[in-house]
């Protein structure tokens, strides 16, 4: 029997490694950007074509490579970052595995020009599928230019599973933003299909955040800064009032390397306890600096996961640093020991007689004479105060008589008569619509009901392609982050079919003008609403595998529906109920929860007798 174990050819081994390191165009962008930073460059330019499928080109002004180094850089496990096992525990550079260029060259056509500053001529290399086609001297600027063409051209199965250009470009933007945030002292330029998308000059971290996301972030950020003997944490957190219903800008960096760490993410969110509404998430941009020997960054091929030597200690430091920042900027409640001026009485001087208070009496006042003006004013005043208390009661019936001459007794009697009438509705805690039916009571969750109504309405509009739009008197300018701008471009046609009228601003990147909104919808803050719709859409992409139009209809319904806590009039409750039962699936919400609850009259009676 012959031997069956054999060594794989280098080309096959490199393709296997490429499957771990290079999963999509964004993975190649990350690896090459990290190499450019390690080269000591302070100006880095990224050029993308067809979402990286046709071309990824990165140019830097770093140290460049000699002829021998240029050739060796494409070999597996060839690196300048480590030379012994001990070096693995003191790594502060970005790339160190020596697999990036070897993996990329195995699945793409790669061309590199590089020159060291002290050399007159550079090196020009052309490699396809791990095979060196040409290597020659050339004239080129100091630094390195790497062109990755036709990614996955020789692995059609992997290329077939790439997502749409918009989705792949979003991933590239996300990787680019992470690198740019980690290195605000460097300049970055990003071109997409020959158009300048982002131009980031060297700046402070706060200015870099503002330049990447939007000018509005300038007022949203709270600085975090805490140093201990074994680690330090710095950066910014977002103010609680700007928290989102989905996870948005949440960035952790350890020694300037972006990481994902659910445990530390929980530390930040727990520091915001009692400051955020339910299911809301804060933004943060936090940088941890620690001894490289205290972390293991070699547990994942993409190096986005790390293991800390003492995770509980790091958790405590992160939580306390965020809490301290919130307290320092008066976000969290604090005890105030200063004396209230109202209670700061001054003792009168000695030998001055104290004058007792006096009361003025109107001798003509008759409490039984309701025709007198003074008594009439008092009666109206008392009724006005009672009405105020009545209106502030969450459990009051929605309808309220406006007659100025009604007494509290008559109002209560009126409400009792109204509630016993057929077809009348009442709100319970401004969340449920209660109405009488033959078998007992019917309770409807007003928010879930309206979400179902809007969801089916928007699906119908998308199918009919007949938008109903109300034009804005003045266009509303919308400024988005690059990733959100790409996403809005992807769904803009469908959003316009749903009633919006959004157009790109030709004069500025990542800006749009909203000229119309869906007819019949009162939107207080159009820019914030669209931002929430985009955020909900992104969240659905992560959590749900659904059609794009269904996703958008869900996102619109979630953000434009009436919410629990909104007071409704009789006509509004009646219309909401009628529209709900005109839906195809009136009893189930778009999240799969029940909308309607029936309470049988016998059940009510049993509960009463049991009590």
The β-bridge relationship of strands 257-259 and 250-254 is antiparallel
What global pTM score does this model have?
A: 0.69
pLDDT over 70 at 292, yes or no: yes
pLDDT at 108: 92
Q: 514 near 475, Cβ under 8 Å?
A: yes
Q: pLDDT tens for residues 197-223?
A: 889 999 999 999 999 988 888 888 999
pLDDT tens-digit profile of 122-177? 999 999 988 899 999 999 999 999 999 999 988 888 888 888 888 898 889 999 99
Gap between the Cα atoms of 139 and 153, Å rounded: 29
Q: Where are the domains of the chain?
A: 10-202, 207-328, 355-405, 444-597
How many Cβ atoms from other residues are within 10 Å of residue 72's Cβ? 15
Please tell me the predicted confidence (pLDDT) of residue 386: 32
Assigned architecture for domain 207-328: 2-Layer Sandwich (3.30)
Mean pLDDT of the residues in the chain = 80
CA-based nearest residue to 510, from 200, 175, 49, 183:
200
- Mean pLDDT on 579-584: 91
What was the pLDDT predicted at 372? 45
pLDDT surpassing 80 at residue 384: no
Burial of 126 (0-12, 13-18, 19+ CB in 10 A): middle
Q: With beta carbons less than 8 A apart as the criterion, state whether 238 and 228 touch.
A: no
Distances in Å between the Cα of 527 and the Cα atoms of 380, 435, 473 are 44, 37, 15
Class level of CATH domain 444-597:
alpha beta
Query: Which residues lie across from 190 on neighbouring strands?
Result: 46, 198
CA distance 485 to 471: 22
Strands ordered across the beta sheet of 122-128: 131-138, 122-128, 109-115, 143-149, 55-60, 43-49, 187-192, 195-200
Collapse the DSSP code of 162 into the 3-class scheme (helix H, G, I; strand E, B; otherwise coil) and give the result: coil
Share of the chain above pLDDT 70, in %: 77
pLDDT at 81 over 80: no
Kindly provide the residue ranges of all beta strands, DSSP E only, lying in 267-346, ordered along the sequence: 284-290, 295-296, 307-308
- Domain range 10-202, its CATH number among 3.40.50.300, 2.70.210.12, 1.20.1200.10, 3.30.565.10: 3.30.565.10
Matching residue, tokens 């009228």: 501
- Apex 317 CA angle, 226 and 93, nearest 5: 75
3-state secondary structure of 563: coil
Give one DSSP letter per residue of 199-264, joined into a string: EE-S--HHHHHHHHS-GGGGGTEEEEEEE-SSEEEEEEEE-GGG-BSS--SEEEEETTEEE--HHH
Is residue 514 packed enough to be buried (19+ CB in 10 Å), middle (13-18) or exposed (0-12)?
buried
Tell me the mean pLDDT in the region 433-448: 88
- pLDDT band at residue 301 using 50, 70 and 90 as cut-offs: low
Residue 331 confidence (pLDDT): 62
What is residue 366's predicted lDDT score, i.e. its pLDDT?
Answer: 64
**Residue 286: its pLDDT value, please?**
96
pLDDT number for residue 302: 62
């Amino acid at each position: 029997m012959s031997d069956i174990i054999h060594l794989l050819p280098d080309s096959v081994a490199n393709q296997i490694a490429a499957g771990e390191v290079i999963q999509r165009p964004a993975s190649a962008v990350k690896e090459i950007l990290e190499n450019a930073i390690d080269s000591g460059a302070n100006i880095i330019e990224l050029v993308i074509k067809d979402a990286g499928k046709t071309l990824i080109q990165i140019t830097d002004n770093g140290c460049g490579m000699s002829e021998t180094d240029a050739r060796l850089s494409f070999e597996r496990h060839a690196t300048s970052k480590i030379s012994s096992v001990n070096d693995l525990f003191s790594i502060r550079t970005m790339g160190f595995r020596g697999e990036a260029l070897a993996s990329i060259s195995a699945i793409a056509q790669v061309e590199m020009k590089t020159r060291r500053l002290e050399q007159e001529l550079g090196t020009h290399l052309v490699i396809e599928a791990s095979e060196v086609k040409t290597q020659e001297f050339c004239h080129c600027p100091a630094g390195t230019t790497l062109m990755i063409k036709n990614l996955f051209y020789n692995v059609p199965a992997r290329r077939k599973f790439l997502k749409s250009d918009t989705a792949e470009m979003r991933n590239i933007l996300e990787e680019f933003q992470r690198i740019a945030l980690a290195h605000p002292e460097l300049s970055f330029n990003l071109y997409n299909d020959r158009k300048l998308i982002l131009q980031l000059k060297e700046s402070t971290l706060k200015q870099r955040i503002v330049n990447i996301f939007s000018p509005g972030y300038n007022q949203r950020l709270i600085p975090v800064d805490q140093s201990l003997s074994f680690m330090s944490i710095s950066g910014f957190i977002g103010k609680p009032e700007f928290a989102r219903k989905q996870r948005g800008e949440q960035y952790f960096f350890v020694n300037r390397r972006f990481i994902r760490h659910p445990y530390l993410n929980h530390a930040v969110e727990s520091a915001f306890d009692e400051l955020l509404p339910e299911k809301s998430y804060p933004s943060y941009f936090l940088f941890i600096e620690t001894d490289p020997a205290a972390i293991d960054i070699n547990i994942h091929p993409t190096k986005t996961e790390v293991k800390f030597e003492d995770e509980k200690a790091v958790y405590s430091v992160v939580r306390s640093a965020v809490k301290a920042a919130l307290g320092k900027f008066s976000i969290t409640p604090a005890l105030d020991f200063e004396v209230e001026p109202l209670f700061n009485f001054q003792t009168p001087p000695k030998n001055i007689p104290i004058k007792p208070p006096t009361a003025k009496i109107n001798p003509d006042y008759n409490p039984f004479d309701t025709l007198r003006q003074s008594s009439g004013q008092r009666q109206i005043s008392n009724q006005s105060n009672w009405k105020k208390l009545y209106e502030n009661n969450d459990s009051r019936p929605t309808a309220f008589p406006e007659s100025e001459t009604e007494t509290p007794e008559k109002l209560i009697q009126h409400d009792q008569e109204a509630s016993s009438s057929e077809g009348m509705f009442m709100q319970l805690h401004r969340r449920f619509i209660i109405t009488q039916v033959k078998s007992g009571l019917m309770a409807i969750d007003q928010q879930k009901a309206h979400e179902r109504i809007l969801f089916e309405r928007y699906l119908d509009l998308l199918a009919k392609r007949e938008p109903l739009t109300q034009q804005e008197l003045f266009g509303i300018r919308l400024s988005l982050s690059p990733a959100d701008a790409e996403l809005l471009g992807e769904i803009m046609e469908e959003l316009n079919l749903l009633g919006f009228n959004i157009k790109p601003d030709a004069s500025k990147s990542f800006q749009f003008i909203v000229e119309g909104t869906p007819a019949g919808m009162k939107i207080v803050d159009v820019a914030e609403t669209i931002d929430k719709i985009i955020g909900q859409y992104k969240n659905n992409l992560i959590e749900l595998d659904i059609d794009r139009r269904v996703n958008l209809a869900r996102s619109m319904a979630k953000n434009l529906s009436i919410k629990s806590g909104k007071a409704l009039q009789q006509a509004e409750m009646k219309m909401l109920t009628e529209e709900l039962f005109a839906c195809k699936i009136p009893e189930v919400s778009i999240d799969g929860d029940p909308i309607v609850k029936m309470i049988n009259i016998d059940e009510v009676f049993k509960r009463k007798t049991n009590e």
